[in-house]
């Protein structure tokens, strides 16, 4: 065993984490190595100095001092939750308004009704008007009237 390995085992031994076999090997090494014996003594001393002599206890009345802070905290928590909620709600509300405004601004205007649609709404027969055209006696007159009638139709708005 070399000194580096021995140092690791010394620390494991001081932590109580060394099995019997490793302990035997360590003791064998320590018996022939003054510098590792020195290291072991120093580590033992250092760990003893680090360990507190007694557990520190807080000043008396720990809970009595803590309880009012709980009450205070509980008063604050609903406000904090509201504040957090409000902070998240503001951008959400703004986004909603923006979407609504967008919809309002970009909705295509309602197209004007064609004559036929107007007649249908008035519960009139849309063909009654054209019937007179078809019933015209002279074919030239009929063609001209059909052309003019088609020109009267407003072009439909593009969707």
Selected range binding another protein among 62-70, 97-105, 120-128, 146-154, rule: CB under 8 A: 62-70
- Is 47 or 98 the residue whose CB approaches another protein more closely? 47
Nearest to 22 by CA among 13, 32, 34: 13
Q: Which of 3, 24, 28, 70 binds another protein (CB under 8 A)?
A: 70
Nearest to 46 by CA among 104, 7, 75: 7
Nearest approach in angstroms of CB 21 to another protein is 19
In angstroms, the CA 146 to CA 126 distance is 14
Site string for another protein, 2-21 (x = CB under 8 A): -----xx--x---x-x----
H or E element in which residue 11 lies: helix 3-14
Cα-flanking dihedrals φ and ψ of residue 56, to 5°? Answer: -70, 135
- By CB under 8 A, name the binding residues for another protein: 7-8, 11, 15, 17, 34, 37-52, 55-59, 62-63, 65-67, 69-70, 73, 77
């Amino acid at each position: 065993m070399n000194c580096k390995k021995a140092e690791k085992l010394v620390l494991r031994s001081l932590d109580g984490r060394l099995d019997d076999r490793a302990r035997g090997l360590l003791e064998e090494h320590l018996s022939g190595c003054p510098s590792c014996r020195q290291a072991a003594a120093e580590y033992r001393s250092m760990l003893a100095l680090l360990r507190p002599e007694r557990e520190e206890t807080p000043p008396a009345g720990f809970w009595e001092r803590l309880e009012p802070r709980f009450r205070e905290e509980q008063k604050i928590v609903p406000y904090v939750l509201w504040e957090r909620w409000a902070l998240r709600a503001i951008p959400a509300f703004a986004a909603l308004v923006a979407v609504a405004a967008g919809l309002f601004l970009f909705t295509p205007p309602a197209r004007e009704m064609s004559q036929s649609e107007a007649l249908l709404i008035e519960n009139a027969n849309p063909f009654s008007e054209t019937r007179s055209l078809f019933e015209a006696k002279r074919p030239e007159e009929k063609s001209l009237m059909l052309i003019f009638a088609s020109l009267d139709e407003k072009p439909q708005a593009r969707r």
